[in-house]
Amino acid sequence: MSPLVVAVVGPTATGKSDLAVELALALGGEVLNADALQLYRGMDVGTAKLTPAERRGVPHHLLDVLDPRDEASVADYQALARAAVDDCHARGVRVVAAGGSGLYVRALLDHMEFPGTDPAVRARLEQRVEEEGSRALHAELERVDPTAAASIGPRNARRVVRALEVIALTGRPYSSSLPQHVYEVPAVQIGLDCDRAVLDERVAARTRRMFADGLVDEVERLLAHGMGRTAARAVGYAETAALLRGELTPDEARDAITAGTRRLARKQMGWFGRDPRVHWLDSRDPDLVAHALALVAQADAGRLGHATDDPAPRRSLGS
């Protein structure tokens, strides 16, 4: 029987990547990336990707597998990630997945269908986004599929377009194709949480560090190479590109990145907080690794069920 996948999830800037390395070292495992933007080559500073030295010799899967001009696909990720899991299990190696992209984590772990696409339908919807704005299409989605609209923010134009595309092609609610909280790949999920004020300061510090580590040079190189829509619109990259175009000052760009990352953290907390299978730990716990390993041991022994039976979304510590 294959070992449970250990998935380290939660909002950005809580230390998921570092904990994943520690767990992999303790469990004799390998790390599987579940962050959509860390799939891209050359997007290192702005995604807080661990350097080779920080990986401490632990093999990492699905880092740097896409060109920034490519569009990331959840369906493609599912196929690649599950192939990596199968490879690790065939070698008797534990998989430690880490990332804050909730849809990618669910695609890895849960049953998830991927309806087809139609370039013409998508082009019409994307044109409407340009002309009417994403909020107008989100309002339309709210009328035809309120469940899907509740899970997709009005600013997330790409997912709003995808939801309306699926509805147009299948005649069924987009929400009917979304995953349920039932594992297809057996796993234990460990969520890292943090007091909101502390997390906000971590985000601000991370932004300052990214600029010190060469974010502007990184974005300049990427723009010269060419960036697809997903990469170019990512938090940190869109604002830095605006800085390079002279549309923002350095201080304005830093403030915009910090604010955008904080919004992302709230969104991630809402996504993972709705999953009753996530077992939460305080990222500041001095015994974090030991407590995480204890959760893994309980799960391996079959003594760890759902973290909560409360269907209400979980709030972040201190919120």
The binding site for ATP comprises 10-17
Which residues contribute to the annotated binding site for substrate? 12-17
Q: Where are the beta strands (DSSP E) in 213-263?
A: none
Question: Which residue, 20, 101, 26, is CA-closest to 61?
Answer: 20
Tell me the residue ranges of DSSP E strands in the chain.
Answer: 5-9, 29-33, 60-61, 94-98, 187-193, 278-282
Q: How many CB atoms lie within 10 A of CB 63?
A: 18
Closest CA to 111 of 186, 180, 174, 166: 180
Q: Which residues are annotated as a binding site?
A: 10-17
Cα distance between residue 167 and residue 209, in whole Å: 43
What type of residue sits at position 152? Answer: I
How many Cβ atoms are within 10 Å of 226's Cβ, its own excluded? 11
